[in-house]
Structure 1
């Protein structure tokens, strides 16, 4: 038998085979070959690293040394001065003292002189004038109306009277009206010609008389309606004729009516009527007698020569009225 066949039939060492697989023993030479020396592992050179950095300093507060980071000014701590507050606690109220008023800025005299003005003294906040001072500085003729005067004017407007408030008239000698009105239209659709200066209560009575008495009398007696009351005299500072008593005209409390104008274009003059002037006589008698229920004094034609051409109506309250 050849040698190769003899070698193939040689027994196999299982332990040596396992060592070869695991690399635990160098391989043995087979046949007549030279033995192979075990391989020696090559070791690579160790890598080189730079020198280690110096260790860091111990951690400190950043704001402890501001100059360390280039700061030139100290940094204010926003939490400095705060106190520990108990949650839910309400601090006691502090009584704030009255702060002194800040000084007023007054421009320099040189600046004021350059602008061509005079320096004004600084005004203190407590120098505001009170109500009394303001009332004293109110211009003449612009004063608050008493409640009675205001209510009277409201009544005039409700009755359809057209008027304007005028300044106080007359001073001294018992003459004058504190709160006069100038009546332009004494009733709705009835002008005052010319305008009459009266006190408000007298104007209200005259308006009531024209609306309730003159208009119905003109409708039933003359078959027309009045459009104007002819004013002979309203306010004037005078005395009663033949006496030293101040007239009611001096206080705007009287009106002299010399006639009426009507819608048909006719004019009625207050005077003594003829025997055959039945309608005119009836109208004049009606308005004259009805006036006695509204005024303290009614004087007309037949009383004396001074009242021969007009009806004198004054609103003075008398214990016994005068109707002549």
Structure 2
């Protein structure tokens, strides 16, 4: 194909180029492969995009526990930033897998008890199991576990007073005079307790009685005396201010106990038929029959013997001084009814008269 002209080198080169160009053009038109040389043009191939196999409709996302047991035609997948993420089961599921076979993924999945999911959210659901229908929270019945308190009936009339000292008189409490009297007993060191009102019949009653067991200095009252507060106050002052100091002065011993023969008693004066009611019937009197000292000596209230100088002095002193505390004082020598005891009471008389015999 190549020819040379020896006489002219330039002409040879031009002729060789023309021959080569002609050969290339002829090969392109005939469909043969182009000889090696310069790449004239490139046609880019269109990219091929392979479609991935579609996942089952019920597993398009991480399944919720309620959806695994519902029909495959509907999938409830919460969306949004506040979507609850509890009770979510995430694992691969291939096509053709029966959702009912996946109950083992739930705790206790094969028991006959219903499974409630979505607890704590606004949409609790009941999982499908044998004998229990599937549904949303509208069909889920929740047992009411609230505590029902029985109504308390309150009395609407007079209140029930447990401590009369802390309630006004109109509400069943004590009058002011009774409260003040009990405050004095406390200051005197008297041991007592309030009793319910005593009413034994006509003329026999104590509206606000007390039961006295001990006086100032630990002096015992035997047996315990049922009295009103006023006579208790007077008797406690007499024992503290007169009897106890007189005993220490004459016997160099304190008083241990006092034997009382009568306090409250529903009877007439001196127990005589037809006589006025005694002050004992209102708890307004007390009788003293014997005084026992700490050294063991007992002093009976009676007319002392001729040589009983200390006993005579003690009884005379405390008897004379007692009229400062009581409105009636009777004892040995007054009458036959008081030959063996002192009688003290607070009987009211006209013009403040006191009877001390």
TM-score between both structures, scaled by the size of structure 2: 0.55
Is this contact kept in 2: 1:161–1:207, CA < 8 A? yes
What residue in structure 2 maps to residue 98 of structure 1?
none
SS in 2 for 1:195: strand
Query: Residue 250 of structure 1 is aligned with which of 281, 285, 288?
Result: 281
The 5 Å alignment of 1:226-245 reads 226-241=255-270, 244-245=275-276
Listed one character per residue, the Cα deviations across residues 123-162 of structure 1 (whole Å, up to 9, x for unaligned) are: 997x9434416549x9xxxx64444333433332332212
2:305 counterpart of 1:270 = no
Residue 265 of structure 1: CA displacement? 0.9
Is this contact kept in 2: 1:191–1:228, CA < 8 A? yes
What residue in structure 2 maps to residue 172 of structure 1?
201
Q: Distance in 1 between matches of 2:150 and 2:307?
A: 83
What residue in structure 2 maps to residue 160 of structure 1?
189
Q: Which has the higher contact order (CA 8 A, sep 6+)?
A: 1
Moved more, 158-167 or 221-230: 158-167
Residue 173 of structure 1: CA displacement? 1.2
2:244 counterpart of 1:211 = no
Is this contact kept in 2: 1:295–1:317, CA < 8 A? no
SS in 2 for 1:149: helix
SS in 2 for 1:171: strand
Q: Distance in 2 between matches of 1:30 and 1:294?
A: 172
**Would the alpha carbon gap of residues 275 and 41 (structure 1) be closer, same or farther in structure 2, given more than 3 Å must change?**
closer
What residue in structure 2 maps to residue 291 of structure 1?
322
Is this contact kept in 1: 2:225–2:260, CA < 8 A? yes
Residue 218 of structure 1: CA displacement? 0.8
What residue in structure 2 maps to residue 279 of structure 1?
310
Q: Distance in 1 between matches of 2:259 and 2:278?
A: 20
Is this contact kept in 1: 2:200–2:266, CA < 8 A? no
Query: Residue 45 of structure 2 is aligned with which of 44, 47, 50?
Result: 47
SS in 1 for 2:189: coil
Q: Distance in 1 between matches of 2:219 and 2:150?
A: 58
What residue in structure 2 maps to residue 190 of structure 1?
219
Q: Distance in 1 between matches of 2:156 and 2:292?
A: 50
What residue in structure 2 maps to residue 220 of structure 1?
249
What residue in structure 2 maps to residue 132 of structure 1?
157
Q: Distance in 1 between matches of 2:217 and 2:181?
A: 17
What residue in structure 1 maps to residue 290 of structure 2?
259
Q: Distance in 1 between matches of 2:205 and 2:305?
A: 39
Listed one character per residue, the Cα deviations across residues 161-210 of structure 1 (whole Å, up to 9, x for unaligned) are: 12222332233211011221111113322111111111112111111110
**Would the alpha carbon gap of residues 166 and 135 (structure 1) be closer, same or farther in structure 2, given more than 3 Å must change?**
closer
SS in 2 for 1:292: helix
Listed one character per residue, the Cα deviations across residues 65-103 of structure 1 (whole Å, up to 9, x for unaligned) are: xxxx9799xxxxxxxxxxxxxxxxxxxxxxxxxxxxxxx
Is this contact kept in 1: 2:246–2:318, CA < 8 A? yes
The 5 Å alignment of 1:107-118 reads none
What residue in structure 2 maps to residue 308 of structure 1?
339
Residue 298 of structure 1: CA displacement? 0.5
Q: Distance in 2 between matches of 1:70 and 1:304?
A: 115
Q: How many residues align?
A: 225
**Would the alpha carbon gap of residues 47 and 30 (structure 1) be closer, same or farther in structure 2, given more than 3 Å must change?**
farther
Q: Distance in 2 between matches of 1:193 and 1:71?
A: 93
Is this contact kept in 1: 2:253–2:294, CA < 8 A? yes
TM-score between both structures, scaled by the size of structure 1: 0.60
Q: Name stretches of at least 5 consecutive residues in structure 1 with no aligned partner.
A: 1-28, 52-68, 73-121
Is this contact kept in 2: 1:297–1:312, CA < 8 A? yes
Q: Distance in 1 between matches of 2:307 and 2:173?
A: 54
Q: Distance in 2 between matches of 1:220 and 1:322?
A: 28
Q: Name stretches of at least 5 consecutive residues in structure 2 with no aligned partner.
A: 1-7, 22-36, 50-72, 77-147, 163-171
Is this contact kept in 2: 1:186–1:203, CA < 8 A? no
